[in-house]
Amino acid sequence: MADADASWLRQRVIDAALDLTRTGLSPNMSGNVSAREGNSVFITPSGIAYPDLLPGDIVEIALDGRVLSGAEAPSSEWQMHCAIYEAFPEAQGIVHAHSDFATALAVMKREIPPFHYMVAVAGGRDIRCAPYATFGTAELAAHAVAALDGRRASLLAHHGQIAFGESVEAALHLAHEVETLAAQYWRALQLGEPELLSDEEMAVNVEKFRTYGRRG
């Protein structure tokens, strides 16, 4: 990968990380962001505040976790990012966030069911909640991959949410959508259990989102 291209990809990872802080999607230094190019993953470092990040701070790792370039340690969640890239070749960007409403549901081990047609934007009839495992472990990575089967986003029990897309910008957009849906579902629960859309209707919505915003 050319140095200029790598530098641009590092900046895009930083821009997404800064969005987490600016919008409150993931407070302080929580969460992490990565982008994939070929067999390289460019991921936020561990322990550096996002506003302080420079392109050289973004760590380049191989899919097996070997550091290819960068002086900092990669995010503690590098195993989860790499496992998702290995399992889902279409994934080119990943955003992991500790957003308020998604985390509140995850603490209660609640999925986001088909209460609204927009749930289909994550690729299926619901947004699953992966079982709990200690952060930064291969066990958590395996749980996340399983929860993402047929999906592009999931909640992580007692932890937060994770989303992937065909670019880091797409992953960030989806993470915001997940948080919006989590907030809407939480508010609906204050009035009672909402009526859910049928599997048949959600299948229609999933298919519509496959081509949404694309010509032809």
What residues act catalytically? 77
Say if residues 79 and 50 touch (Cβ distance below 8 Å).
no
Say if residues 159 and 139 touch (Cβ distance below 8 Å).
no
Give the residue among 184, 161, 165 at the shortest CA–CA distance from 173: 165
The Cα–Cα gap between 36 and 51 comes to: 22
The Cα–Cα gap between 165 and 190 comes to: 31
**54 exposure class (CB count in 10 Å sphere: 0-12, 13-18, 19+):** exposed
The Cα–Cα gap between 91 and 133 comes to: 23
